[in-house]
Amino acid sequence: MNSLPVKQEDRHPIGIIAEIHGPVVIIDCDRLPPLRQALCTRFDHTVYMFEVHQHLDERHVRAITLHGTAGLSRGLTVYDTGAPLQLPVSKQCLGRLLNIFGEPLDGGSPLPQTEFRNIHSKPLALSEATGISGILQTGIKVIDLLCPFVKGGKTGLFGGAGVGKTVLVMEFIHAVSAIHQGVSVFAGVGERIREAHELWREMEQAKVMSDTLMVFGQMDESPGVRFRVGLSALTYAEYLRDTLHKEVLFVMDNVFRFVQAGSEVSSLLGRMPATVGYQPTLTTEVAELQDRILSSRHGSITSVQAVYVPADDMTDPAVSAILSHLDTTVILSRDQASKGIYPAVDPLRSGSHLMDRHTLGDRHYNVAESVREHLARYEELEDIIAMLGIEELSERDRKIVMRARKLQRYLTQPFAVLAQHTRQTGVSVPLEQTLTDCEAFLAGDYDDLPEAQCYMRGSMQEPA
């Protein structure tokens, strides 16, 4: 439910600051505010916001600050805003950089404060929500073929530094804007200031910023900010879905930092750690975020979430909690990148829960499975080829290896967002054309074509 925040002059004193422990503040209250209520105090012309996280007794609450605590002192009067944290929302938010409070980070004018939304809004009612509705084509061959995005679904992007994760995210945003005339919301959770600035500039140069909103909770900010910035960005995505009735791509980088911020908050609140030191509320916090990524009859939210895997352990409790909500998993491989295969998607480890005939149709399913079989067999034979040479393989295996190598190169393509760096025009390939090309490779139609002519191009029908 939308409501206007209470103005400063109308706010009611609720108590005073009793103790300050880093980003945690204990407030002596005349009456207990509800959990998640936004409180504030004023010092030296600066307003400090708090969020209530614990009731300690009949008079005291423990709150997390959403700013630095420098300048705060015991005895300062605390005011009740009358609601959880509210954000100003407007169609003019597209093309902007904002912080957790909806305030500009790009030096532009503030958003018009005519309508506000609660960052803790409930998910859509089941009667209003719609399920998945087919594939969201990206024009990226390897994604659309082997690990397709599901419209209204959630995709996890797993990759370390230097394998092209940010470039792939930018190309997704470009595809949603160019192919589907949609909009994107980027949530930067715990981003380094340098990374955030570079990403913003690259998005501007790629000309995708006009249909994008970026919300940042930076690495040097309070754990309370990093913990809630994802909800702030999701609130904007819900607003754009409900008002523009468009395809909204919600990109979150990085979900693991959201979990880490929750772990910090949990420790500050004095909770006993659970499995592997994570907070006992881990699954609840992840579910609270994921359950709001829903589509309605009027618009949809499709999510792409970058996930850091600690020590490459996919059984880590945080990774498992996130994985349980994902429909598609895209694994970026350093081995692929070292071979010059970009995008560096690992075709054998990536996949989707919806890779079945009912969702994809018989043709797409059969082609995808055949391509995987060829690539898997090539991987099995790589050691033999390295030791004995390809001549020692049977004629059938030689044919499979030859076709797999060409398919591997065919699944690369130049990106539109990198055109000014690579001097190659970015290409977008419709899924139907990708299936046609792959069927031709599997049937042997391109057996006489040099491998180099399959690399970094769009459709095989287009000139190399």
Longest Cα–Cα distance of the chain, Å, equals 85
Separation between Cα atoms, residue 453 and residue 350, nearest integer Å: 26
* Helix-then-strand count for the chain, H and E: 13, 20
Contact 84, 37 (CB under 8 A): yes
Residue 265 phi, psi dihedral angles, 5° rounding: -60, -40
Contact 257, 190 (CB under 8 A): yes
Q: Which of 428, 383, 366, 378 is nearest to 407 (CA)?
A: 378
Known catalytic residue: 372?
Answer: no
Bond preceding residue 254 cis, omega within 30 of 0: yes
* Catalytic residue (choose from 117, 141, 151, 165): 165
* Catalytic residue (choose from 51, 191, 202, 264): 191
* Catalytic residue (choose from 74, 192, 207, 363): 192
Paired tokens of 90:
């407007």
Known catalytic residue: 191?
Answer: yes
Q: Which of 238, 263, 390 is nearest to 318 (CA)?
A: 263
One-letter amino acid at 431 equals L
Paired tokens of 266:
């949990």
Q: Which of 267, 288, 287, 290 is nearest to 278 (CA)?
A: 267
Separation between Cα atoms, residue 244 and residue 246, nearest integer Å: 5
- In Å, what is the CA distance from 421 to each residue of 412, 418, 425? 17, 5, 10
Separation between Cα atoms, residue 214 and residue 216, nearest integer Å: 7
Separation between Cα atoms, residue 36 and residue 160, nearest integer Å: 34
Which residue, chain included where needed, has tokens 């975020």? 289
Neighbours of 19 (CB within 10 A): 12
Known catalytic residue: 192?
Answer: yes
> Known catalytic residues?
165, 191-192
